[in-house]
Amino acid sequence: MPKSPASDGANEYITLTDHSTGKTVDFPLLPGATGPKVFDIGALYKETGYFTYDPGYTCTGACESKMTFIDGEQGILMHRGYLIEDLAKQSDYMELCYMLLNDDLPDSKQKQDFVRIITEHSMVHEQLKKFYDGFRRGAHPMAIMCGVVGALSAFYPDSIDILDPKQRTVTAHRLVAKMPTIGAMAYKYSIGQPFIYPRNDLNYAENFLHMMFAVPAEEYKVNPVIAKAMDRIFLLHADHEQNASTSTVRLAGSTGANPFASVAAGIAALWGPAHGGANEAVLNMLAEIGNADRIPEYVEKAKDPNDEFRLFGFGHRVYKNYDPRAKVLQESCHEVLDALGIEHEPLLDIAVQLEEMALKDDYFIEKKLFPNVDFYSGIILKAIGMPTTMFTVLFAIARTIGWIAQWNEMIEDPVQKLGRPRQLYTGATERPVIPIHKR
C-alpha cells in the first residue's frame, strides 16, 4: 500500500484499477476535520507510471492547513472554526491577524501586545521612499506594490532566515504593519502628494485612511463609520485558503525564496481580474453599464459564449452558493451609505438590479453563479472615497496576513517540499535539428 508521510495512520483506502494491465493499487484516504476526504496520490507515479491531469487544480489539494475552511456548496467560510459572519460581528481585523498567526483569538492582553507590535512596525525604511521616484507618476498602485514589496528583503535582511521561527514572526509583523504604509504611499505618489507618516495613536484602519487622505496643509479627522467599514473589508479579505495568490506565495516560498519575495509574487497573482482585480473591474463595469435600462444587454453579453465579457463580481471557483463575505458586505454597504447620508448611489442601484436579474436567470442558476466578495466591496469603497485603482491594493493589504501565515504554516510543515507540478506533454516527439541552410 503506497503511502507518503502525510498518510501515516490512514486506515481507509481507495482502490484504483488500471484496466489496461489489470493492476490495482490502494491509495490512503485521508479525512479532514470537516469537508470532503482526499486521497493521497503521492506514490501514484511510482506505483502506476501515471501522473494526474487537473488544469486549474480544480480537484487537487496541495497542502494540509488548519487555518481556513470553505464549504462552497453551502456558502460557508470559517477561520480556525469561527464563521466569518460571527468574526465580522464580534471581532476585528487585528484579532483575526493574531489568530491566523496563532491558534486562536487573542485575550485582551494578547491583543494589546499584538496591536502594539504591529503599530511599532508601521514605518518603512526612509531609503524605501526613493523607490517610488523610479515609477512614472500615474503608475497603477498595484504596479508599484509589486516592485516595492519585492524590494523589502533588501531593507530587512535581518529577518529573512526562513528557518528561524523568531525571524519568521518578525517578518510577519513587519509585512502586516508596513503594507498599509506602502499602499498609501503608492497612492500618494501616483497623485503627486507628499507621503504621510503613520501615526501610533490611530488603529490599523484609521491609520491607513489617515495616510491615504491626510495632507500636511490641514488637519484630517478619520470618520469612525468609514474606519469601521474599512476594518470590516480588511477582515473579510484576510484569508481564503488555497486561492491563486496564496498558492503562488506557497509555491514561490517552497523554493526557499524569502518571504518578502514570496509575498511580492502573491501580489502579482492577485492583480488579475479573475482574482483580486475583480473589485476594480466591478466598479468599472457598473460605470460602463451606467443605467439600469442597459442591464439586460450586459446580462446577455455575459451569457453569450462568443463574447469574452463576464459579469465581474459573479461566480467563484469554490462557492457554488452565495459567497458569505458578499452577504456581510451587502449589509455593510447599506449601513455605510446610510451613515454617510448618501441617499442615492446610482451604482448601488445598478448593482442591486443586476444582482436581482442575474439570480433569476437560468444561465446563472444552472452554473451556480452568485455574487462574490468583490461585488459589493467596490461600492462601499467608492462611497468612502477610495479611488478605484486602490481597490486591489486594499485587497493586497488585507490578504498579506493570509499569505504570510500560510507561508509560515508551509515552512513548519515537515511534509511540504518544493512545489513542482508535472504536465501532459503534447508537443513534437524527438526529431533531428536540420542545419539552418537546409530548413
Binding interface with ligand CMC (CB under 6 A): 56, 243, 274-276, 278, 302, 310-317, 367, 369, 372-374
Closest CA relative to residue 27, chosen from 37, 39, 38, 18? 39
Amino acid at 127: Q
Helix pair 391-412, 373-383: axis angle to 10 deg: 130
- The nearest distance, CB 338 to ligand CMC, in angstroms, is 26
Q: Which is nearer to ligand CMC, 108 or 306 (CB)?
A: 306
List 103, 374, 413, 437, catalytic entry:
374
Task: Please give the Cα distance from 296 to 237 (Å, whole number).
Answer: 30
Q: Which is nearer to ligand CMC, 278 or 295 (CB)?
A: 278
Q: Answer whether 121's CB lies under 8 Å from 173's CB.
A: yes
Q: Answer whether 179's CB lies under 8 Å from 124's CB.
A: no
Cell of 22: 489489470
Closest CA relative to residue 282, chosen from 303, 238, 312, 243? 312
Active-site residue 240, yes or no?
A: no
- The nearest distance, CB 332 to ligand CMC, in angstroms, is 16
Active-site residue 361, yes or no?
A: no
- Distance (Å) of CA 73 to CA 47, 56, 224, 320, 423: 34, 19, 36, 5, 29
Placement of cell 459564449 in the chain? 305
Q: Answer whether 210's CB lies under 8 Å from 164's CB.
A: no
Residue, CB closest to ligand CMC: 315
Task: Please give the Cα distance from 297 to 119 (Å, whole number).
Answer: 49
Using DSSP's 3-state secondary structure scheme, residue 240 falls into coil
Residues 6+ apart with CB under 8 A from 52: 41, 44, 60
- The nearest distance, CB 59 to ligand CMC, in angstroms, is 12
Task: Please give the Cα distance from 128 to 136 (Å, whole number).
Answer: 16
Q: Which is nearer to ligand CMC, 111 or 301 (CB)?
A: 301
Q: Which is nearer to ligand CMC, 92 or 374 (CB)?
A: 374
Task: Please give the Cα distance from 310 to 325 (Å, whole number).
Answer: 20
- The nearest distance, CB 337 to ligand CMC, in angstroms, is 22
- The nearest distance, CB 288 to ligand CMC, in angstroms, is 15
CB atoms within 10 A of CB 431: 6
- The nearest distance, CB 257 to ligand CMC, in angstroms, is 23
Q: Which is nearer to ligand CMC, 248 or 372 (CB)?
A: 372
- The nearest distance, CB 278 to ligand CMC, in angstroms, is 3
List 121, 316, 323, 361, catalytic entry:
316
Q: Which is nearer to ligand CMC, 115 or 278 (CB)?
A: 278
Cell of 51: 501522473
Catalytic residues: 316, 374
